[in-house]
């Protein structure tokens, strides 16, 4: 028997996975805060979906800026890239639809 898909639970899991490479570098409070910001961003994307011109890198940097001083430049770039890629993938089908209608 199949269970229902819980988008909020899946977004919460994804938000935590994005931060896995730097888990040991941040306090539990910092992790909770940034994972919450990531989750909120995905929930907003889910509610209103991004337009084709959305700059996911800028969004990712904005979401993660509070932890930048606690990470090295390569670590910060890695989590920004992970978040940017996840956001782009999350909205991929909507971007494809937008391009097809142009």
pLDDT class for 4, splitting at 50, 70, 90?
Answer: confident
Residue 3: its pLDDT value, please? Answer: 67
**What pTM was estimated for this model as a whole?**
0.82
64 or 99: which carries more pLDDT confidence? 64
Domain extents in the chain: 30-100
CA atoms within 13 A on the CB side of 18: 30
Per-residue pLDDT tens for 19-58? 999 999 999 999 999 999 999 999 988 888 666 678 899 9
What lies within 8 Å, CB to CB, of 67 at 6+ separation is 22, 26, 30, 34, 76, 79
């Amino acid at each position: 028997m199949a269970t229902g898909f819980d988008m909020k639970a899946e977004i919460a899991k994804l938000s935590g996975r994005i931060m896995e490479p730097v888990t040991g570098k941040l306090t539990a409070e910092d992790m909770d805060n940034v994972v919450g910001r990531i989750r909120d961003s995905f929930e907003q994307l889910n509610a209103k979906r991004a337009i084709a011109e959305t700059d996911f890198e800028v969004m990712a940097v904005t979401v993660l800026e509070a932890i930048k001083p606690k990470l090295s430049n390569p670590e910060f770039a890695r989590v920004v890239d992970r978040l940017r890629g996840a956001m782009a993938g999350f909205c991929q089908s909507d971007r494809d639809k937008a391009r097809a209608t142009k």
